[in-house]
A and B are shown apart, each in its own frame.
Chain A
Amino acid sequence: MTVRKTIPVVIVFVVAVVVMMDYFLVLPPVSEAGKSWTSGAVTNIQNWGIILSAFALGFGAVNLFYFHSRHISRRTPGQWMYSLWLLIVIVIFTVIGVSMGATSDGYSWLYNASFFALSATVYSSLGFYMTSGLYRALRFKNLESGIFVVVGLVVLARNAPALTVYFPALGVWGSFISDVLTTSAQRGIMIGGALGAISLGIRTMTGRETGFLGKLTEEEKGGGAVA
């Protein structure tokens, strides 16, 4: 174990244990409000987490500047002019946000006229992709795909509001598909996902998972595991 690996792992371990202790245990001394000493510690940890998350947003902007500045300086063909435009837009948003305030009319106009409109447009294009995907992919080829088609048709019909007025049975079948079939499958996936998260947690706490530490030397990695 090296210092570069040990210190972050110890921090992770201590913080994780304190947060878990606060959730599962009530350890004395306990205040009059019934909160144990871990409660205050966890509040501080969570607030530090919020500060670090907010800092990460700024870090993202710094990274954007770094990477796109390199494209501009190297005049990367087919890329550098887009990088230049990106940086200009970042500067405009920053100047207006800082000088007029992020909740000002000017900033709101800029946001609504550009970023919001573009986001909504790109997201809306999903509708087209889904339509062509459905047309091409929902075909009877074998038993499984046949079930896919039937279930897909029922759910599509049920999600058209007016159709359930004229065909009430769609509501019943659709509810069975969503409340029984889909829910049970989703529960299985969620249980698996949760176990994956728990295993990553214990590996991180015990220093076996070092991905979050970035680039490590072989010595720092601890030699890895043996196959």
Chain B
Amino acid sequence: MSGQDKSIWDTLENIPREVLYGILIVVFVFPMVYPLGLPVPISENVRKWYRTIDELPSGSVVLIDFGYSGGGEPELGPMAVAVYHHLFKKGGIKVICMSTSIEGPQLWDKAMAEIRPEQRYGAQYGVDYINIGYIAGTETAMAAVGKDLRATTSTEYKGNSLDQYSIMDGIVDATSFDLLICYTTGGDQSEGWVRQWFTVYETPYLCSVLAMMVPTMLPYQNAGQIVSLTSGAQAGEMESLVKMPARGIKSADVITLTHILCLIYVVVGNVAQIGKKSSGGGR
């Protein structure tokens, strides 16, 4: 094709990547610097998640799996923080955290630094919440913890014996827990908990994954194996319910604008293709 006779349709049909990315960067950065305050509707799944935690009776024990890696932290971190805020605000709930991801303990520390449970809620480590650390083996770890937690690990994530923490009194296996929550970037974890805990012990299970994983995880929610499935991109909705606006709400504007930009790109590409065909420049 001759370069001299490029029509507007050719140009629009083959916008260079650099231009696409350049506009995308502007759309990313602008709402982060100047928040637009676009509306964030709260979806039914987020409300269901919120209700599930809200309806926990005092004294309930929750197991949280920090199963995501550093790459997924910007998306899942805000959701994890918002849910922790909810659990601590509610009070009377014992929260035991473990990790099936090797980066889990570092990411948990990051979340705790943001939440500040002692300062904000008067929560005490070892009494109200604890982290029993990374347990290798993914599904093997899940099965082992469900079968006999004390046989699987005897220390918390810094190496101190679990026996010295009152929160672990009476915690034996999966039947000791009233709710399971998992944040993960890997399908092995999100599906593994269905196989190893829900199927065996019928523990109610809340799962938060990357947005692109939601379609594949939906069958489990529709079959009732997951109580509520959310994506990290819905962290803004959770923050609204919990009334702790943070990174999630800030990202909601970015998510809206970038999705609209992608829509525009697809439409422009197709209009250009159609325009080129109708103007006879089909080759």
Q: Report which A residues bind B (CB closer than 8 A).
A: 23, 39, 42-43, 46-47, 49-54, 56-57, 101-103, 107-108, 111-112, 115-116, 119-120, 122-124, 127-128, 130-132, 134-136, 138-140, 149, 152-153, 156-157, 159-165, 178-179, 182-183, 186-187, 190
Contacts and interface: CB of A to CB of B under 8 A. Distances in A.
B124 interface: no
A161 B17 contact: no
B270 A138 contact: yes
B112 to A, nearest CB: 11
A120 B71 contact: yes
A50 B158 contact: no
Contact of A178 (B28, B218, B253, B259): B218
A127 B262 CA distance: 10
22 contacts: A23-B200, A42-B143, A43-B147, A46-B137, A49-B144, A50-B141, A53-B138, A102-B105, A103-B158, A112-B110, A131-B262, A135-B262, A138-B269, A138-B270, A159-B211, A160-B263, A161-B40, A163-B259, A164-B41, A179-B222, A186-B216, A186-B218
Contacts of A51: 136
Contact of B152 (A39, A47, A102): A47
Nearest to B257: A160
A183 B218 contact: yes
Interface of B: 15, 17, 20-21, 24, 28, 38-41, 69-74, 102-103, 105-106, 109-110, 135-138, 140-141, 143-144, 147-148, 151-152, 157-159, 200, 211, 214-216, 218-219, 222, 233, 236-237, 252-253, 255-263, 265-270, 273-274
A128 B28 CA distance: 11
B71 A132 contact: no
A140 B74 CA distance: 34
Nearest to A136: B269
Contact of B70 (A50, A53, A119, A182): A119
Given A122-B71, A161-B255, A47 B39 contact: no
A140 B270 contact: yes
Contact of B269 (A49, A135, A186): A135
Nearest to A46: B144
A112 B152 CA distance: 28
A49 B158 CA distance: 22
A163 B215 contact: no
Q: Which of B24, B157, B211, B262: most chain A Cβ within 10 A?
A: B262
Contacts of A162: 38-40, 252-253, 256
A115 B21 contact: no
B143 to A, nearest CB: 5
Given A46-B140, A103-B105, A132-B17, A156 B71 contact: no
Contact of A160 (B136, B140, B256): B256
A110 to B, nearest CB: 10
B172 to A, nearest CB: 10
Contact of A119 (B24, B71, B259): B71
Contact of A108 (B28, B71, B109): B109
B158 A101 contact: yes
A47 to B, nearest CB: 6
